[in-house]
């Protein structure tokens, strides 16, 4: 069944699922949806769920916790915890390519913004949002606006441990070439000025609906 586009301002839950289990779940609000390209926004104060060892790494900087989070993922034995998004407004474009999304991170303290292309499994729309799986590989901009790959070691680790097959790796490699071409061509929305964008008045912070951590979502 084809689901209708989400209405502007509606809550959409982006979830990462692996082997039928929720790895992350985060609510966003819809800026635009034409049934193909979905544009989402989230901002500080939004509550979601993410692996407990990622939270430990985010809050303490303990690199062992980050490594353990990757190991947990490959063994399928992670625990998730409540996480409050901090510091940045994030705009996300889903549907520009079947194998990656595009994100703009805008720090609320006025620090320079940066772009990220996030490689992931093809998105499946659900009644509450979208399901995918983050492949841990990113293409990001630095302070000069130049693009570089990030978290190659983590991607190589989950590939070595069998989470990514040779066929999927070939698909990811093809996606990285398309992503680089996308950046080099300066495609929209990269060339647009988002510095004046603000969360629309009257939009409350998005919240996870009941049953968002179930699979399938209730």
| DSSP per-residue string spanning 45-80 | T-EEEEEHHHHHHHHH--HHHHHHHHHHHHHT---E
Read off the pLDDT of each residue in 2-22 and give the average, rounded to a whole number. Answer: 95
Burial classification of residue 206, based on how many CB atoms lie within 10 Å of its CB (0-12 exposed, 13-18 middle, 19 or more buried)? buried
Token pair belonging to 183 = 């950046």
Mean pLDDT over the full length of the chain? 95
**pLDDT band with cut points at 50, 70 and 90 for residue 1:** low
Show the tokens assigned to 156.
């190589």
Q: What is this structure's pTM?
A: 0.96
User: What pLDDT digit, counting tens, does each position of 73-115 carry?
Assistant: 999 999 999 999 999 999 999 999 999 999 999 999 989 999 9
Q: CA distances (Å), 105 to each of 66, 102, 122, 211, in order? A: 21, 10, 22, 28
Please give the structure tokens belonging to residue 197. Answer: 């964008």
What is the rounded CA–CA span in Å between residue 83 and residue 53? Answer: 11
* pLDDT value at 147 more than 90: yes
Mean pLDDT, rounded, for 126-137: 97
């Amino acid at each position: 069944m084809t689901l209708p586009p989400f209405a502007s301002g509606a809550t959409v839950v982006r979830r990462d699922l692996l082997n039928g289990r929720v790895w992350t779940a985060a609510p966003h609000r819809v800026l635009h949806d034409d049934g193909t390209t979905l544009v989402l926004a989230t901002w500080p104060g939004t509550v979601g769920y993410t692996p407990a060892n990622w939270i430990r790494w985010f809050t303490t900087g303990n690199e062992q916790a980050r490594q353990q989070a990757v190991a947990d993922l490959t063994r399928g034995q992670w625990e998730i915890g409540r996480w409050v998004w901090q510091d940045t407004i994030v705009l996300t474009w889903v549907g520009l390519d079947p194998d990656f999304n595009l994100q703009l991170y805008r720090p609320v303290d006025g620090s320079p913004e940066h772009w990220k292309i996030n490689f992931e499994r093809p998105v499946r729309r659900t009644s509450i949002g979208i399901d995918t799986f983050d492949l841990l590989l990113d293409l990001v901009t630095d302070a000069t606006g130049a693009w570089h790959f990030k978290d190659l070691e983590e991607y190589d680790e989950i590939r070595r441990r069998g989470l990514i097959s040779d066929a999927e790796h070939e698909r990811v490699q093809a996606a990285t070439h398309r992503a680089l071409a996308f950046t080099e061509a300066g495609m929209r929305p990269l060339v647009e000025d988002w510095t004046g964008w603000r969360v629309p008045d009257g939009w409350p912070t998005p919240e996870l609906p009941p049953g968002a951590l179930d699979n399938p979502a209730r």
